[in-house]
Chain A
Amino acid sequence: MQTGTAKTILICEDDDNLRQLLRVVIGPGYHIVEAGDGDEALVLASEHRPDLIILDLMMPRMSGLDVLQQLRANAATDGMHILVMSAWPDAVEAARAAGADAFLQKPFEPDALTALVEEALGAPE
């Protein structure tokens, strides 16, 4: 479902404001898909085949770690680059163990997020 050559990013975050912030910081160079919880994220990941998933750990119903494990368990989504976000610095170990490629602690500097996104996907179109 990609439009043109723009890379797709799936944002999975339950807080509306933070979703908006992520979209603003990442900027217009990428195709962005938003999910408000884990179930939605899994559906959208299969549907859109994003190049990068930005995943919050503390979410309603299904935790970010569960979403991460399910993404890694599924061959179709296993190869995707996953950036985990959490307010808990301690969560980095568990996230890495579950297969996260990068970790970003909340609150974050917009430039730090931009750097991580560019590191994963290259410069925006």
Chain B
Amino acid sequence: MRSLSLSTRMIAASALLALLVAGVFALLIHAVLTLDDARDREARSKEVTAAGVELEKLVIDFESGLRGVVLTGDSRFLRPAEAGRRQLPRQIGELERLVAGDPAQRRRVQALRVAIDDYVSDYLIPIGTIARDNPDAVRTSLATEEAKRRTDAIRATFNQLLATEDARAAASAESAETQSRRAIVLGAGGLVAVALLIVLFGLYLVRSTAYPVRNVAAAASRLASGDLSVRLKEGGPGEVGELTHAFNHMAAELERRERELELQNELLRESERKKSELVRIVSHELRTPLASILGFTSVLLNRDAAPEDQRRYLEIIDREGRRLSALLNDFLDAERLDEGHLALDRELIDVGRVVAEQVRLFEGQSEKHKLDMDVRARPLPVHGDPNRLAQVVGNLLSNAIKYSPEGGTVHVVAEQDDGLVRISVRDEGLGIPKELQEGVFGKFFRGDAPASGIPGSGLGLTIARSVVEAHGGRMDFESGRGEGSVFWMELPIAASN
């Protein structure tokens, strides 16, 4: 039953109901037919009785006519009997027809016909003839004794016939009554049963169809109002099961797509946020050097200045111009990284030399900082792009200085270790709090720098790590708030030939 579909179940239930109704009607029709039959039999019994009484009256006419003739010798007494004799074949025929279906009664009627015919031929006809020819001769009683015995026998047979018919009529009447009572009981019972079944069928329909449909409708409303987590209890017969399953599938699919959309929206918002961050950084980072360049240019063009001042102004313009150029290069590099093509030269170089050059370059830039270099092996051969690697080392040095505003020593170590060249830059500066460490290599990450007024694009480390990874190496750091930072990189050492 569990696997049957709802339509199969409904068809089966309807068929069952129809079968029951048909059965009740068949029984009712049968009862009515039986009742009719019983009534017919009762009516026929009455007709038989009536015909029997008519015939008996003829016989009585015969007897009384005969007795009158014998007593008076007057043949006129026989006139009713004569008339009766003419009716006799028709009446006895009628009676025979009526009892034709009843062998016992038929035998009695045949016996009556024989007895009456004998009586007519043995007594009525001879005595009538004698009475007409010799009226006196007929007044002898010798014939009447035998005639009376005959008519008594005929009467007894009549009594039997009529009693039997009476009994049959009574039985038929009783049977008819029984049948009609049974028909009423059957009809009423069938009606109640059918009504009950229709109610049960209706309840079944409500339970198996209306309830699930209502549940689905309610769930669909909740779905429409935005509650995508709504689910129906799965199961139920056939189509209802399919409906709940399909509904749940639809809801799950909707929920999944909404999550996807939300994720995409989140990504879009993030990208939008990064874009405005970029615009903010670009405008600030570009405007500060631009203000110096434009301002000093304007002073040089419009105001008088001593030659040594002019030279100082030009040096500032030059430095700030280079700063702008470096910033633009950072942005371009970041763009290239996004598009996945960062062009690298591949030369056999001594990284120790690259480090030494960068340290020398940065040494004069800050009075508050001391740079301590320890190159533990020479050469440190690496296949790589000297300019890019110089950019990376320079970035680490620049960060070490920028993020230790109070000054201090920057320790630079370059060493060879187990097939790797390892370069580390340690400062005694602000350090990076644990909660910010995850994003350090992310694009435009500036940590607390904007609040501290430390300039930068937030791109340097992103580019540095990409460059190192493009050389087959890796870059990471250790730090804590107020503990300074150690940034290190490892590059595969070039096989010495």
Contacts and interface: CB of A to CB of B under 8 A. Distances in A.
Interface of A: 14-15, 17-18, 20-21, 24-25, 37, 58-61, 87-88, 106-111
Given A25-B299, A58-B284, A18 B454 contact: no
Given A60-B453, A61-B452, A109-B298, A15 B292 contact: yes
Name, among B290, B292, B313, the residue most crowded by chain A CB atoms within 10 Å (CB to CB). Answer: B292
A15 B450 CA distance: 14
For chain A, what secondary structure do more than half of its interface residues adopt (helix, strand, loop), or is it mixed? loop
Nearest to B405: A60
Contacts of B287: 87, 106-107
Interface residues of B, number: 28
Contacts of A87: 283-284, 287-288, 291
Given A21-B291, A58-B450, A60-B452, 15 more contacts: A17-B289, A18-B288, A18-B291, A20-B316, A21-B299, A24-B313, A61-B453, A87-B284, A106-B288, A107-B291, A108-B291, A110-B298, A110-B299, A110-B302, A111-B298
15 contacts: A15-B292, A20-B316, A21-B316, A24-B299, A25-B295, A58-B453, A60-B452, A61-B453, A87-B287, A87-B288, A106-B291, A107-B294, A107-B295, A109-B294, A110-B298
Contact of A110 (B303, B309, B316, B452): B303
A111 B309 CA distance: 19
Contacts of B291: 18, 21, 87, 106-108
A59 B453 contact: yes
Nearest to A14: B453
A25 B302 CA distance: 11
A21 B453 contact: no
A110 B452 CA distance: 28
For chain B, what secondary structure do more than half of its interface residues adopt (helix, strand, loop), or is it mixed? helix
B296 interface: yes
Interface string B181-215: 00000000000000000000000000000000000
A87 B287 CA distance: 6
Contacts of B451: 61
Contacts of A106: 287-288, 290-291
Contacts of B294: 107, 109
A100 B452 CA distance: 23
A13 to B, nearest CB: 10
B320 interface: yes
A61 B295 CA distance: 26
A61 to B, nearest CB: 6
B295 A21 contact: yes
Q: Kindly list the 6 A-B residue pairs having the minimum CB-CB distance in the complex, ordered from nearest.
A: A60-B453, A87-B287, A107-B291, A17-B292, A21-B295, A106-B291
Nearest to B284: A87
Nearest to B298: A110
Contacts of B313: 24
Interface string B299-315: 10011010001000100
A108 B299 CA distance: 12
A53 B298 CA distance: 23
Contacts of A18: 288, 291-292, 295
Nearest to A22: B295
A15 B313 CA distance: 15
Given A20-B316, A25-B295, A15 B302 contact: no
A60 B320 contact: no
A90 B478 CA distance: 39
B288 to A, nearest CB: 6
A57 B453 CA distance: 10
B282 to A, nearest CB: 11
B320 A107 contact: no
Contacts of A111: 298, 302
A118 B313 CA distance: 24
Nearest to A59: B453
A108 B295 CA distance: 7
A122 to B, nearest CB: 20
A82 B155 CA distance: 157
Nearest to A85: B291
A7 B452 CA distance: 31
A58 B284 CA distance: 9
Contacts of A15: 288, 292
Nearest to B455: A15
A90 to B, nearest CB: 10
Name, among B293, B316, B320, the residue most crowded by chain A CB atoms within 10 Å (CB to CB). Answer: B316
A59 B284 CA distance: 12
A61 B319 CA distance: 25
Contacts of A107: 287, 290-291, 293-295
Contacts of A108: 291, 295
Name, among B290, B295, B320, the residue most crowded by chain A CB atoms within 10 Å (CB to CB). Answer: B295
Contacts of A14: 453
B17 to A, nearest CB: 81
B447 to A, nearest CB: 13
Contacts of B283: 87-88
